Amino acid sequence: MTVKPVPPEGFRLLPGTFDRVQQEALVTLIRQILEDAPLFQPVMPRTGKAFSVRMSNCGPLGWVSDINGYRYQSTHPVTGRPWPAMPEMLTDLWQTVAPDSPPAEACLINFYTPEAKMGLHQDRDEEAFDAPVVSVSLGDTATFRIGGTSRKGPTTSLRLASGDVVVLGGEARLAYHGIDRILKGSSTLLQNGGRINLTLRRVTKG
């Protein structure tokens, strides 16, 4: 009998954290942010291969990837302007799910077309891993894969629907995770379809 692996300790799925009205309000806020900090196409370090997602950020710091590596910086890599402020809806979420952590400093905005994916990876570009990673799903449902702290370890999959929140804390803070598939047409939230993922992180030591 094969035992299906379970997510590591510290993983939390909070389905339906944001209802439809809240989701629509959050999408409106994100669109306003993207007017000032437009989506850009990141590339892999060294190889220069483009990601299948486009991204932007809000908050004091933003995560970027280019030929020189992964890093956080205070300005948009294309416009050179500071990142827009993080919406109160997201700072309130952080305080609710991570009340003992210092404030989030970065919110990565990833936009997935129906064809986009995100390979298994760890979130480890931060200075410390005491605070959790908090992720919000908006739009089409995604097949999310999570394993342990070894890339080759067993993984399990689950679906993330619009309004769901995932928290990666404790052992799960450095768990490998990724997006295998976007279920096209599974949500009517975004006019042209696709999925927005918002990932909140504490970057510097508190």
Query: Does residue 27 fall inside a structural domain?
Result: yes
pLDDT, average across residues 88-103: 98
Helix axes 88-97, 20-36, angle to 10 degrees: 120
In a domain, 3, yes or no: no
* 1 found inside a domain: no
Is the residue at 173 inside a domain?
Answer: yes
Flag whether 206 is in a domain: no
Q: Give 142-154 as a DSSP string.
A: EEEEE--SSTTS-
**Average pLDDT for the chain:** 95
- Average pLDDT of span 13-37: 98
The answer to whether residues 83 and 60 touch, using CB atoms and an 8 Å cutoff, is: yes
Q: What's the total number of domains in the chain?
A: 1
Is 90 exceeded by the pLDDT of residue 74? yes
Q: What confidence tier does 1 reach under pLDDT thresholds 50, 70, 90?
A: very low
Asked if residue 6 is part of any domain, the answer here is: no
Domain annotation covers residue 5: no
Q: Mean pLDDT throughout 69-92?
A: 97
Question: For the domain that residue 80 is a member of, what is the CATH number?
Answer: 2.60.120.590
Domain span at residue 89? Answer: 11-201
Is pTM beyond 0.85 here? yes
DSSP class of residue 176 equals -
Confidence (pLDDT) at 4: 61
26 within some domain = yes
